[in-house]
């Protein structure tokens, strides 16, 4: 069964297809576990508030949604960007077939009895990829999911269980957090140099080099850990455990293009404070440290 969360995307999309322009294409981790999706963000009008019933049914299926804790990201949003478009929620879900509403009834009863959502997702969900992650999909924003799924996820109260529906089946959705998406900052090489020379500031950031291993052997900057963009599908599965999503993350590549792509991917996984090194290691060598070889 195909999962609803990215209904207009292809599982074969990769970071090489990514651009960083406003109204951009960006990489979103697949909730089905088959890789990353390429998503185009388009402008869309704000939906009028709709009062959701606890069970909201139509011809395609039924969803059960749970909204949990709230966490706001830092401010600094562009004035021209809609607050609704920038609002994100972190969600997980349980997917069942359209004729299995009784399973959602059972899920409600077992949750009320104190059972764990992640365990129930692993036991009951039809979505193979997210089932392996306890039903976790990640951060979503308006325009990325099927309309009824989006409505349920964004209009339910925090902590509320609701049901909605899509053409893919019946879903139990748990929204774990809410935040305003923050743009990716462009960092100058001079600012990076200041950070590298200040132990206190250096302790407050994590540095990621997304170039290839062969490039790192030619030229490198101290303190950066290597995570090649070409292997993003591999390290993306564990990056939220290896790096702190709430710590300032600075990304570097050769000229700043691949690192921008990686930054947008990390943003889709919930990283809250991201900077892209403008001009990459080439600019760092040219303007800061000529001892770093240029290539």
Taking only the tens of pLDDT, the chain with its 295 residues reads 445 444 444 333 333 343 334 344 444 443 433 334 444 444 333 333 333 333 433 333 444 444 443 333 333 433 334 455 568 888 889 999 999 999 999 998 999 999 999 999 999 999 887 888 888 887 787 877 889 999 999 988 777 777 888 988 999 899 888 877 677 999 999 999 999 999 999 999 999 999 999 999 999 999 999 999 999 999 999 999 999 998 999 999 999 999 999 998 998 888 989 999 999 999 999 999 999 999 9
Active-site residue set: 253
The confidence score (pLDDT) of residue 30 equals 39
Phi, psi of 102 (to 5 degrees): -60, -25
Encoded tokens for 178: 């809410």
* CA dist., res. 155 & res. 192, Å (int): 41
* CA dist., res. 186 & res. 215, Å (int): 22
Encoded tokens for 170: 């019946």
Q: What is the CA radius of gyration of the chain?
A: 21
The confidence score (pLDDT) of residue 83 equals 54
| Residue ranges of E strands in the chain | 25-29, 36-40, 63-67, 87-96, 136-141, 161-162, 170-180, 185-187, 205-209, 225-226, 248-252, 274-277
Q: Are 243 and 235 in contact (CB under 8 A)?
A: no
* CA dist., res. 72 & res. 167, Å (int): 31
Closest alpha carbon to 4 in 126, 175, 118: 126
* CA dist., res. 185 & res. 20, Å (int): 12
The confidence score (pLDDT) of residue 277 equals 97
The confidence score (pLDDT) of residue 3 equals 55
* CA dist., res. 103 & res. 86, Å (int): 34
Q: Are 14 and 233 in contact (CB under 8 A)?
A: yes
With 0-12 / 13-18 / 19 or more C-beta atoms within 10 angstroms meaning exposed / middle / buried, residue 242 is exposed
Encoded tokens for 11: 């599982």
């Amino acid at each position: 069964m195909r999962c609803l969360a990215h209904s207009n995307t292809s599982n074969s999309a990769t970071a090489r297809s990514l651009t960083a322009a406003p109204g951009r294409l960006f990489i979103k981790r697949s909730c089905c576990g088959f890789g990353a999706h390429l998503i185009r963000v388009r402008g869309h009008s704000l939906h009028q508030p709709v009062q959701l019933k606890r069970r909201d049914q139509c011809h395609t299926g039924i969803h059960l949604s749970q909204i949990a804790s709230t966490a706001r990201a830092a401010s600094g949003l562009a004035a021209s960007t809609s607050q609704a478009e920038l609002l994100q929620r972190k969600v997980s879900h349980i997917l069942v077939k359209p004729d299995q509403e009784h399973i959602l009834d059972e899920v409600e009863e077992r949750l009320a009895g104190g059972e764990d959502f992640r365990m129930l997702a692993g036991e009951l969900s039809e979505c193979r990829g997210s089932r392996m992650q306890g039903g976790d999909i990640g951060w979503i924003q308006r325009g990325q999911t099927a309309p009824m799924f989006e409505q349920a996820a964004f209009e339910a109260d925090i902590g509320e269980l609701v049901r909605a529906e899509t053409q893919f089946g019946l879903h139990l959705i748990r929204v774990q957090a809410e935040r305003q998406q923050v743009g990716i900052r462009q960092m100058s090489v001079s600012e990076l140099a200041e950070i590298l020379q200040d132990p206190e500031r250096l302790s407050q950031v994590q540095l990621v080099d997304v170039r290839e291993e062969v490039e790192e052997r030619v030229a490198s900057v101290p303190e950066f850990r290597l995570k090649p963009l070409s292997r993003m599908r591999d390290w993306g599965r564990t990056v939220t455990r290896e790096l702190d999503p709430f710590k300032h993350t600075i990304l570097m590549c050769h000229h700043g293009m691949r690192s921008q792509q990686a930054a947008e991917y990390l943003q889709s996984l919930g990283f809250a404070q991201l900077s892209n090194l403008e001009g990459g290691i080439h600019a760092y060598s040219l303007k800061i440290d000529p001892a770093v070889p240029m290539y």
